[in-house]
Each structure stands twice: as structure tokens, then as C-alpha cells.
Chains A and B, each alone.
Chain A
Amino acid sequence: MPQATVQQSEPSLAASHPRRTRTWPPEASIFLVLVGLALAFELLGWIFVHQSFLLNEQRLVVMILQVAVIGIIAIGVTQVIITGGIDLSSGSVVALTAMVAASLAQSADAVHPVYPSLTDLPVIVPVLAGLTVGAAAGLLNGTLIARTAIPPFIATLGVMVTARGLAKWYTRGQPVSLLTDAYADIGSGAVPVMIFLAAALIFHVALRYTRYGKFTYAIGSNPQAARVSGINVARHLLIVYTVAGALSGLAGIVTSARAESGQAGMGMMYELDAIAAAVIGGASLSGGVGRITGTVIGTLILGVVTSGFTFLRIDAYYQEIVKGGIIVAAVIADQYRRRARDPRAIN
């Protein structure tokens, strides 16, 4: 290029400021909180109940099992939050999928099976049915949001109420029990944890290394700019909400398999725990920010708090009070972190 661009090369900013400003991943601080909480319970354990909190394998297993279901949901919710949305329907979708999947997973011993001619089906049938129901609920969320432009909060609130209603209507409120052993296996042992970690790995990779992930962040960061950049924003939102619905469906399958029954009251308030896990893990409700690794740590923090309070034999009431405080503290910390990182446009 001639003329104007032939200027003496100025010393680049990188040269005058060799130190990198971000050497720690954003999850480092939240991980320290997790470790700190665990150590605090360890210390309190020795003082008040004369036991170790961490050196009890069974307790840790139970703890992770308890939060695995929340974690699976939170992986989907994190992606929705990154797009700048929210999903309030997860808990109800857990109940609905638990009912539908369980109804197709009953063994021949069941007294009054939902579908008398459809007992002892191969395990893949209820699993696929559950995933489909979850994905369909997510697709409905996505359609409402992308096509009618109603706020995600309202759209998913509607689906939350409807899905809970459908779950109750499905068997007129009756629980679905006596499931096949193969189905129950999905919820036994470490299987739920494996499912959680596998889902976390898949979507961690998807968010970081695929076009799906790049578009998800872009849409959350600036939907208008995303649209102008040629991204089909409506279609992408549809996909993200469907993925979140399918993950809620997966959580419903795991929940019903673990309880060996489907109940319309399952998954109550799970959506809030999942949102909390994502937010504690650094996802920003204003969109464009959030990572699966953070959400996994956020999920574990919720687990440690619940398990720690039970371990210290503190009333369940206090647990919820403190949990609320932790969620708010996480968001405040996030605000400070962001303010520190963003010196506002320099010029």
C-alpha cells in the first residue's frame, strides 16, 4: 500500500507492556471459594462434631450424586444465560420427562402400568422418549422467544407452569413406579456423576471450540451485532433452548431412575439451583459471559454447602438462608471483577 500507510513502525503496546494482564483463568477465584468453603467445613467439623468433613469418601460421593442432576441442568442453563436469556422451565421439564420416561420404563410386575401393553421395553425407549420430551419443551421455549420476541423470562415461566401441569395430568397425579432394572441402573452408583461430567465435557468443548459456541457468545454479547454479522440469531436461539431442554430431560431421566419412580412433584425449584450454579460459576445474566468449567465449580459449591450443613447438623432452614446469601455474594463479586477488568473505553 502506498503513501499514508508507510509510517515508521511505532513501538507496539505489547512491547511497552510485556506483562500479561490475565494470567489466571476466570474460574480461579471461584475455585478458591470452593476450596475455602471445604476447608472451613473441615475446620468446623473438627471443632463441633469431632469428625473430618473431607476424609469421608461416602459423604463426598453422596454430595456429588446429589448435585449431579442440578449440574446436568446447569450445563444447559449456562448456555441459555450466555445468550442473554434465562430458563425457568427446567425443574418442571424434569418432572414431565420423569413421568413420560418412567411410564415407558415400567416392568411387567407393575400393578397398574400406565401402558399395560408397553412394559419391559428396552431401556433405550424411555431414554429417547425422555430426551425428546425435554427437547420439545426447549424447542417450545426457543420458538416463543425467537419467533414472538417475548422476553425469555416470561416465555419460560409459561412453559414452567404448563410443563408442571402436564406432568400432573399425565397420570392424574399418580406416581409411576416399578421400573425395569436396566432403567434404574441409570440412576445408581456413579452413573449420574458420569453423565454429568460427560455432558460438561461435551459442552465445554462445544462452547470453546465450535461455531455453535462462538455464535452463542456473540449473540449474548450483542444480539444486534450478531445479526448484522450474518448469524441467524433466531435459529441459533432455537437450538440453544432445545439443547437446554434436552439436558433438563436427561436430568429427569436420571432423577426418575434414581428414585425408581416418576412423580409429578420432582425437580421442584431445580431451575433456581441450576441458575445459581451458573451464576456462582461466573455466568453473567447480561449475556456474553460464562463457562462450563465455572458452572461445574458452582455446582460443587452448592453441593459442599448443602452437605456441609447437614454434616454440622445445622437445620435445613438455615441452609437455604445461607445459600441465598452465597448466590448474591457471587453476583456482587462478579460485578467487582468485571469493573476491575474493564477500564472503560480508553479513548
Chain B
Amino acid sequence: MQPAAAAAPDGCLLEARHISKSFPGVAALDDVSLRVDVGTVHALIGENGAGKSTLMKIIAGIVPADSGELRLSGRTLLLESPRQALASGIAMIHQELNLMPSMSIAENIWIGREPVNAFGMIDHRELARRTRALLERLQIDLDPHTVVGTLPIARRQLVEIAKALSHQSQLLIMDEPTSALSERDAAHLFAIIRELKSQGKAVLYITHRMDELWEIADEVSVLRDGRYIGTERPGNLTREQLIRMMVGRELARIFPQERSAPGPVLLAARGLTLHPHFRDVSFELHAGEILGVAGLIGAGRSKLAEALFGVAPADGGRLWIEGAEIAVDSPCTAVGRGMAFLTEDRKETGCFLTLDVLDNLEIAVLNRNFVRLGFVRGAAVTRACADMSRQVRIKTPGLHAPIANLSGGNQQKVLIGRWLLTGPKILILDEPTRGIDVGAKAEIHQLIAQLAAQGAAVLMISSELPEILGMSHRIMVMREGRVTGMLERDQADQERIMALAAQ
């Protein structure tokens, strides 16, 4: 099929009518209708589990709908595979990027469609030429021969976009494209999206970052609990109205107010270094304090967190926990000293996706508690996990549900619960609310503040400035592996932080 260039006379590119879908144990979509016009950015928002990703997947041909109809440029679409969707002009950029890390940018973009020479062999020169042309058109400054695995996540996303556009797509579906991006990279992405818009392409855009809506979206549709709530122009709505549409209730405050007086130093670092990621990092972390760590992607913040926790131990500098100098050579040691670490990548370093919610909750605490003579005290640990599940408000059909069936936000709550069960004194949180909806976000913020109020020391890395500003007592800013500033809460604002974070 040729990509359908012509839109229906009324400017409608894609129309979804009465789409319903259910999964075993989870209601996903209930009679949802949606319309995307040519040359517009249509944002789709809603809490975790609202059905956004499912709707996207149906439109992209990844999962079939139980009922309902899709129309593209006025014609009914019957999608049985992502391949068909691509051929019809619909491309999806996944939240978890689907690139092959060991292959080059050019190979990734044209995989399965490589130009061949007279002998049927891949024509590498032509491949590179096409890729360069494509990247130039998007003003992406990357060498086609670069191996994708060596690129930071923001760059990989750009490769994904280029790949989608190489299919002559009319409709681009982006699933939380900015969740892993720093503000600067996000701005670059928006420039590209505007360019696409001016070329008459439409973008269906899922996001959890509400500020983006006013910046990039022409229309915004809200889903809640699998149902369609409404579509509006962002300009006609206030933030509060949008949140109300999403959660169906008023959230009085986004950020918690509990503040506690900082106590004794629990964690101290002096001259901490890990080549080539960060150098000479020194700070003190007090009991009852939330220390925010701001910076752009690639500033070395996540590597610092990994070094503090022993995942990738530092190769220079000294570390003290509660006044005693210690070499944290493995996460084992760190956990033994009362540390907890919520990693930035749920899927890669967090969840045990083949196991159930209970297994995922209990695993970290089994090293210290709930075990007698090697045997797990099943009843006790189940009770503790059930309590924790209620405390952090995990939405699940039960503790024995596979964690793979939970939404991203609920998986994150499971991981937080896993660490809270160990009763940590020092918490390291790397992007604790990435890819999480407003309601769950507020709950997680509340939990973090509460832990600090109870005397835990919290080091929180975040790429969302409002989160950093709203949560932290002090803010450490990093740039290119170095600490460029340490701000008290009342001296910090967005401009100051960005000035320290960017060059």
C-alpha cells in the first residue's frame, strides 16, 4: 500500500471509533474514540493504567482491538501487524526504544530495506548516503556509522524518529519521548516535531510532563480508567482543569510540604571519582534531608548514584557512612549498611518481569529478615508485603499477579515498596517518577517526603526541574562529571539551576 498522502476533505487524518480492549485481569479501553487532524500534534494524557499505551499500540498495529474501527484518511484500516501500520503510514516510537545496540545508526534505520548492489550485497555507501540525507533533513548531527549502543539515550531517540520518518510515515506515535531527555534535548525534539508538523505530518503524543502540552500540543485528549474523557485545545485549559480531567478529583498540592530539620550526617563523600564519568565529587547528606541532584543527561549523575551504591564502584575518593569510612564495593555492602537504590531503568535494573508482585517486593529484605534456617517465613513476609502494597498504593489484582501485567507507575511503586521493606537509612533515587502519571507521582513525592521526615537521608536525581525544586532541601548541580553548584532551597530557581547545568 502507498502511504496515504491525501487526508479526508475535513482535514482528518486518523479516526478511531469506539475502540474497546481488555486484557486478562485488567480493563484497558472502553469505547474510546479519537480524531487526529493533518499537520497537528495531538497529545494524549492520563494516569498510569488509563489506557494510553494500549490505544497507541492498537493504532500502531501491535495489538488488535476487541471491537471498534480505525479510519485513515477516510478509509477503514484493518491492522494485523506493525508492518501493515508502517506500510499505511503509521509509525510508532516506543517508550522503551527498539534499536539494536550492536548495529550502526544506518543499519538500524534501514534494517530489512537495505539498498543492494548488482550482486545482491548491501550497498554500504548508498546506505550511508541515504542515512546522512535523512539525518540532515531532521537537523540531527550524527554519523551514520556510529554504533547505536554507544549513544546516550537522547540520541537513540532521535535515531528512532529518523527511522520512523524513513518509512514516509504520515502519523508518528510518540510514547513519552521526553521522559528520558534533559530539557535541552527535549527542546531539540520539539523543534523537530514542529518541523514535521509544517511538512503536514501528524503526531500523536503521549506524555506525563504536563508543561509540554502548552508548548507543543495543538489538541489534548484525556483518558481515564480506559475511558475517553474529552479533547480540548491546551490554550483553553488550565493545569488544574487538566489534572481534574485526568484524575477525576482535585489535587490540592502537587508537592508535599513536610519539611524537617536536617539531622546528623549519614553519608559523606570527598573527592569521589570514576573515570571517565565524574570527578572530584564531594557532599554531605544529612538525616531528614532531601538532596536533589540536577543536571543534563550525561552529567554523570546516574554514574555517581551507581558508585555510591557499589554497582560500579568509584576508582578514587573516600566515602563515609554514619561517620565510618567505608569502601562500597558492591550493592551487597551498600544494602548491608542501610542503603537503598531506586535505579532509573525499571525494566533493565529493577523489575523481575518473569516473577509476581510478591517476589518482586520481598527480594531485598530476604537478605536480612523473614528467613529462618534458610526458609522464608511465607506468612510473615506475605503480610508485610501486603501492608507495604497498601502503604504505597499498588494497583494490582493481587500479590500473585505477574508484575509484567502492571502499569509502569505501579511497577515503580513495587520497587519503592521493595526498598521501604528494608527500612533504609539512606535512599538514592534516580528519576523516581519517570514515566509516571500525576496522581501516582504525587503519592510517590509524598512517600519520599515522609521518609525524610522520619529521618532518612534522600539523594534524589531528577531531570524535571519542578520536581527538584519542589522536593529538595538542597540542590547539587552537576555538569560534565563535576559538581558546579550547591544551592540552598531558597536560593534556587529554574534559571539558576540551568545556568549551572548548561554551558
Contact = CB atoms under 8 A, between A and B. Distances in A.
Given A211-B371, A346-B406, A231 B332 contact: yes
A1 B363 CA distance: 26
Given A214-B376, A228-B349, A229-B331, A288 B397 contact: no
Interface stretch (B80-88, B214-222, B250-258): B250-258
B397 A13 contact: yes
B404 A345 contact: yes
Contacts of A2: 256, 258, 446
Contacts of B450: 1
A291 to B, nearest CB: 12
Given A229-B418, A344-B63, A346-B53, A209 B378 contact: yes
B54 A347 contact: yes
Contacts of A16: 27
B446 A214 contact: no
Interface stretch (B165-173, B291-299, B354-362): B354-362
B49 A347 contact: yes
B50 A222 contact: no
A186 to B, nearest CB: 28
B332 A343 contact: no
B443 interface: yes
Contacts of B362: 214
A217 B352 contact: yes
A18 to B, nearest CB: 9
A14 B357 CA distance: 14
A217 B362 CA distance: 13
8 contacts: A4-B442, A230-B331, A230-B335, A288-B355, A343-B23, A344-B62, A345-B53, A346-B26
Contacts of A171: none
B287 to A, nearest CB: 20
B363 A226 contact: yes
A22 to B, nearest CB: 8
B331 A221 contact: no
Given A13-B397, A14-B397, A228 B54 contact: no
B407 A230 contact: no
A229 B50 CA distance: 30
A212 B371 CA distance: 10
Interface string B398-411: 10001011111000
Interface residues of A, number: 45
B303 interface: no
A231 B364 CA distance: 8
A284 B353 CA distance: 13
Interface string B407-425: 1100000000010000000
A289 interface: yes
A21 B396 CA distance: 13
A57 interface: no
B374 interface: yes
Nearest to B306: A228
Contact of B446 (A5, A10, A222, A347): A5
A58 B395 CA distance: 55
Interface string A327-347: 000000000000001111111
A129 to B, nearest CB: 26
A229 B419 CA distance: 8
A51 B346 CA distance: 59
A347 B53 contact: yes
Contact of A4 (B62, B253, B349): B253
Contacts of A217: 352, 354-355, 359
A6 to B, nearest CB: 9
Contacts of A214: 359, 362-363, 366, 376
B416 to A, nearest CB: 13
Interface string B19-35: 00001111110000000
Interface string B324-345: 0000001110111000010100
Contacts of B443: 4-5
Given A4-B443, A13-B396, A230-B332, A347 B51 contact: yes
Interface in B340-392: 341, 343, 348-355, 359, 362-364, 366-367, 371, 374-376, 378
Nearest to B435: A347
A16 B418 CA distance: 27
A20 to B, nearest CB: 8
A225 interface: yes
Contacts of B375: 209-211
Interface string A135-168: 0000000000000000000000000000000000
Nearest to A221: B352
Contacts of A112: none
A224 interface: yes
Contacts of B407: 345-347
Given A3-B252, A3-B253, A209-B376, A347 B331 contact: no
Contact of B350 (A3, A8, A212, A225): A225
Interface-central residue, A230, A284, A344, by most chain B CB under 10 Å: A230
A28 B395 CA distance: 29
A227 interface: yes
Nearest to B223: A347
A52 interface: no
B121 to A, nearest CB: 31
Contact of A212 (B353, B374, B393, B442): B374
Contact of A211 (B336, B374, B445, B447): B374
A5 B253 CA distance: 11
Interface in A203-236: 209-212, 214-215, 217-218, 220-222, 224-232
B348 A224 contact: yes
A7 interface: yes
A232 B334 CA distance: 12
